[in-house]
Structure formats: C-alpha cells, structure tokens
C-alpha cells in the first residue's frame, strides 16, 4: 500500500539566487572579453622620439679663419739732395741822374686877349608858395549825407564853404561863403567838410595852415 504524497505550497516557490555563482560567471566573461580585445588591437607604435633624442648628434666644427696677410713693406724714401745755394749777383752802384732844370713857360704875350671876367653867381631859387587844397579822393570817398526831406522833395543846390586847415591838413573851422538857400543842405555840407582831409599850404618850403574854398553840390 503506497503512502499518499503530501504537496506543500512551499514546494512551488523558486530557488533563491546564488550570488557566488553569478559573480564567477561574470568574472569569466570579463576575462575572455579582455583577451579578445588584446588580440584585436594592433601592436603599439614604438616611441621613436626617445630614440631620436638618444641618437648621437654630429657637431660641425668650423675651421679658424686664415691669418690676415702681412702688411706691404713701406715704400722706399728717395732722398733728394738739398738745393744748392746760388750766391746773389754783385750789386752795382749806379749814380743818380742829374737834376733837370725847371721849364718856365711864358704864356703872356702882348698879342694875347685879356681873360673874360667871371660870371656873376646865380640868384637863389625862391621856393614857390602853394595854397592849401582839398583831397579830392578823400572827398569823393566820404560824400556829404543828403538830407532825407530834401531828397524826397527833390531839392538841389550848391554850397560854397571856406574851410580853415592847419599844417597837418586837418580842418579846424568851416563857414558858409555862399548858401544854397536851404539850411539843411548848408548844415550837411559843413558836417561833411569837418570830416575831410586837406593838403596843407607850403610857404618858404614849410607846411603852413591855410583857408580852402570848397564848393559842395547836392543833386539828384
């Protein structure tokens, strides 16, 4: 009579992991992979730099420069004989020439005409006196101001002035000798004359003051 078998629920559970076995398998696989990689890698190139550094080097020794050529011998100095001294010629004393008698010329004769008398001296040149005058260029460059009212009204006229100037040609006074019959025109002419420059008078070669007659015309 067979005995009945008992099946427990613990029989169905999986066996626990064996870590020692797993580690052995992993180590074997790693060793095999390392061997395979070493076989596949080409042999390493030898380091030739160290050999090149350790190789003997040839040093070229330059020969010393040739010695300089000896200096040429000094030229031979030719000795010239000293010049011979020539004695001076003998000195001959010559007598001085005899004195010549003076020649007296008698130019007067009873037939020669008498010499003309000397001409009288020329009279001194008298300096010409010059009266003062107005500087025309300065007058044209500085014309009198035309009064606006007379210009607008068309008033014209001529003013004759007597201008007193000093030795430098600067006016010192002015007055109307002949009026233009317009007070504004006369005043404008007087104001302009006091700003003009004049040529001073000359008397005995020196500059002097004088009076100058100046006509001033106002026209449109």
More confident residue, 138 or 9: 138
Put simply, whether the predicted model's pTM sits higher than 0.75 gets the answer no
Going by pLDDT thresholds of 50, 70 and 90, the confidence category of residue 185 is: very high
Please report, rounded to a whole number, the percentage of residues in the chain having pLDDT higher than 70. 59
Query: Residue 95: what pLDDT?
Result: 66
Q: Phi, psi (5° rounding) for residue 70?
A: -65, 145
CB atoms within 10 A of CB 83: 6
* Region of poorest pLDDT, from 87-96, 105-114, 178-187: 105-114
Query: Residue 150: what pLDDT?
Result: 92
Query: Residue 129: what pLDDT?
Result: 80
Three-class secondary structure assignment of 112-139: CCCCCCCCCCCCCCCCCCECCEECHHHH
Query: Residue 44: what pLDDT?
Result: 53
Going by pLDDT thresholds of 50, 70 and 90, the confidence category of residue 46 is: very low
Q: Are strands 157-165 and 201-203 parallel, antiparallel or unpaired?
A: unpaired
Considering Cα of 144, then 147, then 153, then 156, what sign does the dihedral take?
negative
Three-class secondary structure assignment of 16-47: CCCHHHHHHHHHHHHHHHHHHHHHHCCCCCCC
Q: CA nearest 214: which of 199, 205, 206?
A: 199
- Residues 50-90: tens digit of each pLDDT: 445 555 555 555 656 777 777 777 766 666 666 667 666 66
Query: Residue 215: what pLDDT?
Result: 94
Q: Is the confidence at residue 45, as pLDDT, over 50? A: no
- Residues 119-164: tens digit of each pLDDT: 777 766 555 788 889 888 888 888 999 999 999 999 999 999 999 9
Please report, rounded to a whole number, the percentage of residues in the chain having pLDDT higher than 90. 32
Query: Residue 145: what pLDDT?
Result: 92
| Mean residue pLDDT across the chain | 76
């Amino acid at each position: 009579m067979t005995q009945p078998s008992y099946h427990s629920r613990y029989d169905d559970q999986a066996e626990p992991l064996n870590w020692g076995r797993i580690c052995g398998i992993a180590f074997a696989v790693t060793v095999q992979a390392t061997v395979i990689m070493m076989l596949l890698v080409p042999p390493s190139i030898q380091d030739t730099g160290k050999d090149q550094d350790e190789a003997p080097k040839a040093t070229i020794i330059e020969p010393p420069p040739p010695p300089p050529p000896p200096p040429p011998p000094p030229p031979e100095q030719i000795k010239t004989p000293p010049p011979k001294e020539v004695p001076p010629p003998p000195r001959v004393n010559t007598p001085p020439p005899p004195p010549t008698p003076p020649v007296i010329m008698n130019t007067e004769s009873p037939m020669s005409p008498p010499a003309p008398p000397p001409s009288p001296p020329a009279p001194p040149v008298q300096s010409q006196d010059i009266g003062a005058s107005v500087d025309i260029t300065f007058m044209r460059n500085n014309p009198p101001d035309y009064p606006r009212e007379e210009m607008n009204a068309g008033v014209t006229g001529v003013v004759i002035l007597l201008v007193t100037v000093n030795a430098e040609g600067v006016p010192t006074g002015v007055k109307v000798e002949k009026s233009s019959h317009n007070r504004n025109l006369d005043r404008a002419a007087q104001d302009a004359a006091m700003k003009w420059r004049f040529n001073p008078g000359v008397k005995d070669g020196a500059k002097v003051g004088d009076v100058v007659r100046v006509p001033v015309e106002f026209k449109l």
